[in-house]
């Protein structure tokens, strides 16, 4: 299927290809929405992760909390945000980390009206930066 959204910069579109790749990673993440699972994970992360047949790269990104890498490996933000919530990181602070801006600078940008679409619609606009 042709992907007319591939030229949008700084964005993953969680389509079927990404969903297939990220399935076990995302299923791990959603398991953390239950308190008993959060407790088991926090008690022994490695042992808990053994229950999910994800790739070594995905597992490594989970352990390192490499938020962008998780997305690159098929994670979806609504799933990875469950891992972030477990760590006490809310959506806004997570975005601060993923953009590389840091939490404070990101919050300031949002208070000033957010990221403009100008210059942020096409990958070609980012290549010149």
Partner 1 sequence: MARIVAGVGCSHVPAIGVAMDTKITDQPYWQPVFKGFEFSRKWMAEEKPDVVFLVYNDHCTAFDASVIPTFALGCAATFTPADEGWGPRPVPVVHNHQKMASHIAQSLVLDEFDITIMNEMEVDHGLTVPLSVMYGDKTPEDDWGVQVIPLAVNVVQYPAPTGNRCYNLGKAIRKAVESYPEDLKVMIFGTGGMSHQLQYKRAGLINPEFDTMFLDKLTSDPVGLSKMPHVDYLREAGSEGVEMVMWHVMRGALDDEVVEVHRHYHVPASNTAVGHIILENKDYHDSRGKVAAE
Nearest CA among 120, 7, 25 for reference residue 66: 25
122 secondary structure, DSSP code: S
Please compute, for residue 4, the number of CA atoms within 13 A of its CA located in the half-sphere on the CB side: 0
Q: Three-state secondary structure along 4-47?
A: CCCCCCCCCCCCHHHHHHHHHHHHHHHHCCCHHHHHHHHHCHHH
Q: How far is the CB of 47 from partner 1 (least distance, A)?
A: 20
Could you tell me how many residues of this chain bind partner 1 (CB under 8 A)? Answer: 52
Q: Which of 56, 111, 124, 129 binds partner 1 (CB under 8 A)?
A: 111
Q: Does 119 bind partner 1 (CB under 8 A)?
A: no
Q: Does 55 bind partner 1 (CB under 8 A)?
A: no
Binders in 65-104 for partner 1, by CB under 8 A: 68, 71, 76-79, 81-82, 85-86, 90-92, 94-95, 98-100
Hey, what's the torsion of the CAs at 64, 79, 75, 1, to 10 degrees?
A: -170
> By the criterion CB under 8 A, which residues form the site for partner 1?
4-5, 8-16, 19, 22-23, 26-27, 29-30, 32-35, 38, 68, 71, 76-79, 81-82, 85-86, 90-92, 94-95, 98-100, 106, 109-111, 113-117, 120-121
């Amino acid at each position: 299927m042709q992907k007319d959204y591939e030229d949008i910069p700084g964005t993953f579109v969680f389509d079927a290809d990404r969903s297939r790749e990220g399935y076990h990673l995302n299923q791990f993440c959603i398991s953390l929405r239950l308190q008993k699972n959060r407790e088991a994970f926090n008690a022994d992360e490695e042992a808990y992760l053994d229950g999910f047949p994800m790739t070594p790269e995905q597992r490594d990104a989970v352990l390192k909390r490499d938020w962008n890498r998780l997305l690159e490996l098929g994670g979806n933000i609504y799933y990875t945000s469950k891992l972030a919530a477990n760590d006490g990181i809310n959506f806004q602070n997570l975005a601060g980390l993923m953009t590389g801006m840091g939490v404070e600078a990101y919050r300031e940008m949002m208070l000033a009206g957010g990221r403009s679409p100008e210059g942020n619609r096409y990958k070609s606009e980012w290549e010149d930066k």
